[in-house]
């Protein structure tokens, strides 16, 4: 059969559980998906020459967490393939920022406190939007850049919270968005109480269940509740605008 270029799907968001989604989609490819819906490859470069060629019946998945907040990404992806479907995993921006900080702290234990990095002046409630961990969670701001190139119908938003509490439901909606049969269902998951995340059950092709890596499910650092309240107030208008734009209430308030 001749090769016919590629149909591309990329998905993004740093510290918003895109790795679990990637794990579930790889599972879909390797163990469940019939030949007419095979996932060709995962690559990590926004470079046309590095994208694998796939058949008309195939979908190429590309995952890079920083795409959604990278200014030049929408234009470059659009120029590569304007039919690309985009999947964005989002979660409560306050929780996301704490998770981001916790991950960095595990590698750089001498960094300043979360509170110190979050505010230019905490007394006045001035949040430091130059800190990436804070700025990334301003979803409505980043989405504006993407909507200049892609219609909302080509962008699917996954709830990071529901990906934990209802992985089959969230992955069902992803499969609908991709136009493939719902092959990942409740029967493929179990909840790992130790990690606090859903895991994939073992299959005939895999003797062991598939769980996330050690970096997932890490206990977050303890943050002053007043700091959390201040950040919730800061994000509130951005969240509301995001809900209104995408037509979905993620209930982060």
Known binding residues for 3'-phosphoadenylyl sulfate: 91, 99, 216-220
According to DSSP, the residues that pair with 155 across neighbouring strands are 86
Helix, strand or coil, per DSSP, at residue 72: coil
Convert 49-87 to b/e letters by CB count within 10 Å (16 or more is b): eebeebbeebbbbbbbbebbbbeebbeebeebbeebbbb
Q: Which residues are annotated as a binding site?
A: 91, 99, 216-220
The CA distances from residue 129 to 70, 143, 204, in Å, are 15, 16, 49
Nearest to 197 by CA among 183, 210, 184: 210
The dihedral formed by the CA atoms of 31, 32, 37 and 38, expressed in degrees to the nearest 10: -10
- Contacts for 147 with CB less than 8 Å, ≥ 6 apart: 245
Nearest to 211 by CA among 13, 19, 30: 19
Residues 112, 127: Cα–Cα separation, whole Å: 15
């Amino acid at each position: 059969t001749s090769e016919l270029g590629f149909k591309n799907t990329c998905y993004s968001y740093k510290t918003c559980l895109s790795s679990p989604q990637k794990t579930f989609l790889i599972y879909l490819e390797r163990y469940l998906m019939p030949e007419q819906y095979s996932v060709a490859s995962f690559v990590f470069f926004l470079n046309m020459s590095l994208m694998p060629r796939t058949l008309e019946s195939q979908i190429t998945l590309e995952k890079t967490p920083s795409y959604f907040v990278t200014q030049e990404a929408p234009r470059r992806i659009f120029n590569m393939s304007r039919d690309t479907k985009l999947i964005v995993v989002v979660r409560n921006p306050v929780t996301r920022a704490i998770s981001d900080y916790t991950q960095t702290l595990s590698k750089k234990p001498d960094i300043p406190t979360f509170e110190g990095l979050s505010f230019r002046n905490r007394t006045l409630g001035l949040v430091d939007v130059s800190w990436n961990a804070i700025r990334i969670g301003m979803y409505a701001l980043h989405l504006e850049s993407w909507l200049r190139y892609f219609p909302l119908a080509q962008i699917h938003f996954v709830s990071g919270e529901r990906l934990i509490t209802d992985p089959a439901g969230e992955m069902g909606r992803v499969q609908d968005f991709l136009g493939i049969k719902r092959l990942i269902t409740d029967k493929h998951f179990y909840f790992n109480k130790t990690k606090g995340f859903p895991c994939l059950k073992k299959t005939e092709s895999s003797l062991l269940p598939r769980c996330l890596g050690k970096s997932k499910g890490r206990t977050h650092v303890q943050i002053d509740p007043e700091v959390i309240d201040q950040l919730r107030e800061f994000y509130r208008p951005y969240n509301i605008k995001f809900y209104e734009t995408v037509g979905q209430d993620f209930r982060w308030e």
